Amino acid sequence: MSVLKKLNIGIAGACGRGASFKAACEAVGFVRIHAVCDVNAEALPAAAERLGADEKYTDYQTMLARSELDAVILGTPMQFHVPQAIAALDKGLHVLSEVPAGVSIDECRRLVAAAKAGSGVYMMAENYTYMRANVIVREIARRGLFGAPYYGEGEYIHELKGLNEVTKWRRKWQTGINGVTYGTHSLGPLLQWMPGDRVESVCCAGSGHHYRDPRGDLYENEDSCVMLCKMAGGGLVKVRLDMLSDRPHAMTNYQLQGTDGCYESARAPGEPNRIWLRCKREKPDKWMDLSELADEFLPEFWRKGAEAAAKAGHGGGDYFEILDFLDAATGKRPPAIGIHEAMDMTLPGLVSQQSIMQGGAWLDVPDSRGWQVRTGKGGAE
């Protein structure tokens, strides 16, 4: 594929989350939103116009069959990510999929098999890993200044009861299942701050059921689900997911502890992100504001893209993930969150759903790197 040719992108879920990739695609420049797809036939024409798409489809398979695409972006509800990704990978297309990568371990196995077999790039759009503060912390961790990181916390606290009634898939796939159903925003950055580590086993417990939906039914998801992750390197990570409790949002709460430093993100708007690093000769009881370290640790790619990123959303995440994906699709470098990193971020949550059903039992999290691809029908084993 010539790098000079504009990459033709098809966006699925174009009337919802899919539409939010427009600003990033425009800023990057060498892509064209060629086709859009959404089952909402009424809203589709306006979405196609807004996104400047040449073609529009109400059926995903028809878009893949008829449209001349190089890549697809999947902004559809969670349960469609795997089937739509596999269909595109089987056609040799590149895939950028919204989070999480899949909704069951079995389908994740099939996805890994398809990603390994296909010629296209698979990347998961874990945009929180690109947020400015998270990128600064990642760079500090990459340079080893936390020493050995051994404890982390991530929380996604986002009251979504009303949204469940508008985007009804959420009532089934996010709040209709117990355990961590939406954990990649919390786990994703933490895994990047513990380079080379992965979650080996998890246990999960919940805080009970204190809210009902408008039909009077209790949510199957407990109000706060806490997943403890035992890391392969011996450390511990705590993930809290809460999509039900009445309270202000707090989707980007993080903590990291290492032998030579620690980090605590702001817990409320206006508060600073706090860091302590031994190498900065600070006393152990004295915090620095993370922003004081931006000049030294904010990577060049983020500085260069800051203006374009500001237009895209999610603290820059929605821009930089597109940039990374397109770099991967054009062969410049491997995807930042390729198939195995996507599994590292997705599988612990899926296993937590089994753990909470088994009274919080510790259960092993599979490592997708060890999944064999069957040559016959049926995908990975």
Ligand X SMILES: NC(=O)c1ccc[n+]([C@@H]2O[C@H](COP(=O)([O-])OP(=O)(O)OC[C@H]3O[C@@H](n4cnc5c(N)ncnc54)[C@H](O)[C@@H]3O)[C@@H](O)[C@H]2O)c1
Interface ranges with ligand X (CB under 6 A): 12-13, 15-17, 37-40, 60, 75-78, 80, 98-99, 125, 127, 167, 314
Element (H, E) at 249: none
**Which residues lie below 8 Å from residue 264, measured CB to CB, with a gap of 6+?**
254, 255, 273, 274, 275, 287
User: Which of 40/372 has CB closer to ligand X?
Assistant: 40
User: Which of 99/114 has CB closer to ligand X?
Assistant: 99
Say how far apart CA 320 and CA 119 lie, in whole Å: 23
User: Which of 39/205 has CB closer to ligand X?
Assistant: 39
Say how far apart CA 314 and CA 312 lie, in whole Å: 7
Length, in residues, of the chain: 381
| Distance of closest approach, residue 127 Cβ to ligand X, in angstroms | 5
> Could you tell me if residue 130 is left (phi over 0), alpha (psi between -120 and 50 degrees) or otherwise beta?
alpha
| Distance of closest approach, residue 260 Cβ to ligand X, in angstroms | 32
User: Which of 39/117 has CB closer to ligand X?
Assistant: 39
> By beta-carbon distance, which residue lies closest to ligand X?
16
| Distance of closest approach, residue 154 Cβ to ligand X, in angstroms | 14
| Distance of closest approach, residue 87 Cβ to ligand X, in angstroms | 11
User: Which of 12/380 has CB closer to ligand X?
Assistant: 12
- Both tokens of 215, joined, read 């039909």
- Contact assessment for residue 290 and residue 263, using Cβ atoms and an 8 Å cutoff: yes
User: Which of 57/146 has CB closer to ligand X?
Assistant: 57
- Contact assessment for residue 15 and residue 44, using Cβ atoms and an 8 Å cutoff: yes
**Which residues lie below 8 Å from residue 318, measured CB to CB, with a gap of 6+?**
20, 21, 23, 24, 127, 309, 312
| Distance of closest approach, residue 96 Cβ to ligand X, in angstroms | 11
- Both tokens of 85, joined, read 């990704």
User: Which of 85/262 has CB closer to ligand X?
Assistant: 85
| Distance of closest approach, residue 13 Cβ to ligand X, in angstroms | 3
| Distance of closest approach, residue 337 Cβ to ligand X, in angstroms | 12
| Distance of closest approach, residue 167 Cβ to ligand X, in angstroms | 4
User: Which of 173/362 has CB closer to ligand X?
Assistant: 173
- Both tokens of 245, joined, read 């409790």
**N-term to C-term CA, the chain:** 32
**Which residues lie below 8 Å from residue 42, measured CB to CB, with a gap of 6+?**
none
